[in-house]
Chain A
Amino acid sequence: MWLPRWRRAKPWQCRWCGASCGVMETDPGLLMAAVRSPYQRDPAWRGRLAWLLVSAVLLWPLLVLTEFRPWRMLDSRSLQVTAHFLAGFLPPALDADFLRVVARETWRTVAIATAGVTLALLLAAPLALVATAALSISSLSGRMGVVPFVTRQAARALMVALRTVPELVWALVFVRVVGLGPTSGVLAIGLTYGGMLGKVFAEILEGSDEHPTRTLLANGGGRLQAFLYGLLPQAAPELTSYTIYRWECAIRSSVVLGFVGAGGLGQQMDSSLKMLAGNEVATMLLVFIGLVWLADSASAWLRGLLR
């Protein structure tokens, strides 16, 4: 390793083992002698160098593809627009009319989320029940029959399909079909969350103790009875807890969906942004953060209550 001459070691100086070295606390910048051991090179160095080069090579196209030019945000026109917008943030719009609008839209957001999750539950409950292998009567006597097996896999596949399409895409499609407004939001949340809830419900049901359910089925009980008396009692707390958690997520989703026209606080924020009305956006951001925090606390409290 190359060092400038004034830093290179003198022969009698500072090899810790046995030589003179009494100055450490007054010389914190002391560099150890760069006496390279004649036979030891760091074997990991090649690998590290290779990683560094590969990362640099991969980084370049990333910067190009994303048109990442942060200095453009600092040119005079950009700065003017940004400064004007940010200046509008204070004071946040607090006039009565606007606050009324915001309150109404906030309630609509919560309503969209609630309605969406209700729809999702209506969708997820039957799907989860169908997909649960624990309720399979045919498998009581060994392997599951073909038809029940296929039905179960189909239910699973449907849930996966519902989950994988982003809810924003559903919302976009529904807005085209039914027009702007909360309906598309409710449907989008209902479908996506139906898939999510269904999958997790099925997992929770599968994870519970199967024995009471199998016993009920084996003794001739119907599937619904087996579910209500066997699976549901033990799984209920978990099921409820997850539903509440998803409701809280749905509130955030419905704000996001509002940006494509699904109503609620998001739609209002979108229109205010397009008008560059900084003060309105500031109020709504604050309300949004407050809403999320409130929903978070409520959800945590409820879940603690149910434990």
Chain B
Amino acid sequence: MKAAGSSLQLEQVSVRYPGGASQTRPALADVEFKVDGGEHVALVGPSGAGKTTLLHVAAAALRATRGRVLLDGQEPWALGSRSRQQLRRRLFLAPQVPPLPPRQRVVTAVLAGRLPAMSLASSLRSLLYPLDIGAAHEALEPFDLGGRLFDRVDRLSGGERQRVSLARALLAPARLWLLDEPLSALDPVRATRALQIVRQRASQRGITLVVSMHQVDMAMTHFPRLIGVRAGRIRFDSPPSQISPEQLRSLYEREAPTPEPSDVAAEVETGETVAVPMVWR
């Protein structure tokens, strides 16, 4: 039985970061789109375009200055904080920098993806002895990390950590996956494989998938729908067959060559420092 994936809708969403350089332009301006349950969407655009901000707004981790977000038809910011936290269990956000505590072991880090579905007692017990090593292994195996189950996170390379962060998604009780540049540290072969696994599992379970990436060609090949973002606005929102090369060029024109992961990390840093306080309501 395939349970329905969560739907996501953004209506006239604008985000302006308080103070600083954002006096020039808002991070997001009049963003509007709808993703139905089970759809797979890729967000493309140059660095600094606002992809991270968009994903954080969609995850109800950042409050939009204007407009509203609807998760499964519900507005998270209209709810009380407890109900909002319950609503957040339906989604999984993978930040670009893998959010893994350095001294934690991979098995614990992966099983943490399941925390929203675990009671406090079982999460405590799992710290003493991991409650479902088999599931963790099964989540890591497709990413070729099955043998690294009991290693410490800081002994892994950047690419391996990113794959662990993706494996967490497989264990999460979420119906909506929001992945921020999940392939930035992976070489092309591994990146293609990881993307295939993610898409396969998502469609198997009917999960809605929104992935931001800067590898446009991979996005065009694998995703049935692309949303192009530039300077905080949506430039196009269509299947790959309907996107012209000129549209793609204008999306990326006058930008630095393909952003290195470190460039995008800088964007994420500023994004995250603002986003973090919002989630504590």
Contacts and interface: CB of A to CB of B under 8 A. Distances in A.
A1 B131 contact: yes
A57 interface: no
Contacts of B128: 48
B98 interface: no
Nearest to B1: A20
B73 to A, nearest CB: 14
17 contacts: A1-B129, A1-B131, A17-B139, A20-B1, A25-B90, A28-B119, A30-B118, A31-B119, A32-B132, A33-B132, A33-B135, A34-B131, A35-B134, A40-B149, A42-B129, A42-B133, A44-B150
Among A1, A24, A44, the one with the most B-chain Cβ atoms within 10 Å of its Cβ is A24
Contacts of B134: 35-37, 40
The 9 closest A-B pairs by CB, nearest first: A37-B134, A22-B3, A24-B173, A40-B133, A29-B119, A32-B132, A20-B1, A24-B117, A30-B117
Interface in B104-132: 105, 107, 114, 116-119, 122, 128-132
A33 B118 CA distance: 12
B149 A15 contact: no
Contacts of B130: 42
A24 B122 CA distance: 15
B34 interface: no
Interface in A11-25: 15-18, 20-22, 24-25
Contact of A28 (B117, B149, B171): B117
B247 interface: no
Interface in B130-161: 130-135, 137-139, 149-150
Contacts of B65: none
Contacts of B171: 16
Interface string A124-166: 0000000000000000000000000000000000000000000
What interface size band does chain A fall in?
A: 20 to 34
Given A30-B117, A42-B130, A21 B137 contact: no
B201 interface: yes
Contacts of A35: 132, 134-135
A51 to B, nearest CB: 11
Contacts of B119: 28-29, 31
A43 interface: yes
Contact of A34 (B1, B132, B170): B132
B89 interface: yes
A36 B136 CA distance: 11
A15 B86 contact: no
A15 B86 CA distance: 22
Interface string A26-66: 01111111111100111111001000000000000000000
Given A16-B170, A32-B135, A45-B129, 4 more contacts: A15-B135, A16-B135, A28-B119, A32-B132
A46 B177 CA distance: 37
Given A34-B132, A40-B137, A45-B129, A22 B1 contact: yes
A40 B134 CA distance: 7
B147 to A, nearest CB: 11
Contacts of A24: 89, 116-117, 173
Contacts of B173: 16, 21, 24-25, 30
Contacts of B138: 15, 17
Contacts of B150: 42-44
A13 to B, nearest CB: 11
B196 interface: no
Contacts of A21: 3, 173
Interface in B227-265: none
Given A35-B132, A37-B137, A44 B105 contact: yes
B66 interface: no
Nearest to A52: B128
A18 B170 CA distance: 10
Nearest to B172: A16
A188 B62 CA distance: 59
B204 interface: yes
B205 interface: yes
Contacts of A17: 135, 138-139, 170, 201
A20 B204 CA distance: 11
A17 B122 CA distance: 20
Interface in A174-222: none
A48 B127 CA distance: 11
A48 B105 CA distance: 14
B68 to A, nearest CB: 21
A17 B173 CA distance: 11
A44 B105 CA distance: 10
Contact of B122 (A31, A40, A41): A31
Interface in B159-215: 170-171, 173, 201, 204-205
A36 B129 CA distance: 12
Nearest to A26: B86
Nearest to A33: B132
Contacts of A25: 86-87, 89-90, 173
Contacts of A40: 133-134, 137, 149
A19 to B, nearest CB: 9
Nearest to A18: B204
Given A22-B1, A24-B173, A31 B137 contact: no
